[in-house]
Structure 1
């Protein structure tokens, strides 16, 4: 199993991370099979499993979206 990566709360261009929103996503994403969770004592570690089929499905989805967008841009008539 991969080692957990600790990411402190960071501020981005839109402002600070909102803990309730992050907590909600960290609850929903494992239920959807996108991320995995492992509990150790009072900590929960979240991670991606590169062998997981849901990650592969998402990768294919974004590749398809990229291909569609490139084809649409090619047909726009602009250089």
Structure 2
């Protein structure tokens, strides 16, 4: 496991699925900086395809935030 020495060295991306009380399912994409556990992005929708995930990463990149090492 990579242990980062500072912010923006390693990010973790996680896709989660859950359901509301009445049964409606939804998914979340969570991108977190592994150094300081800062949440960089959360995207929520009924389904998350690559067409929805890539713009989130592009938005972080155009905002000047990119991982130096990797995204896990």
**Interval of TM-score (by shorter of Structure 1 and Structure 2):** 0.3 to 0.5
- Structure with the greater relative contact order (CA < 8 A, sep ≥ 6): 1 or 2? 2
TM-score normalised to structure 2 length: 0.35
When Rg is computed on C-alpha atoms for both structures, the one with the higher figure is 1
TM-score normalised to structure 1 length: 0.33
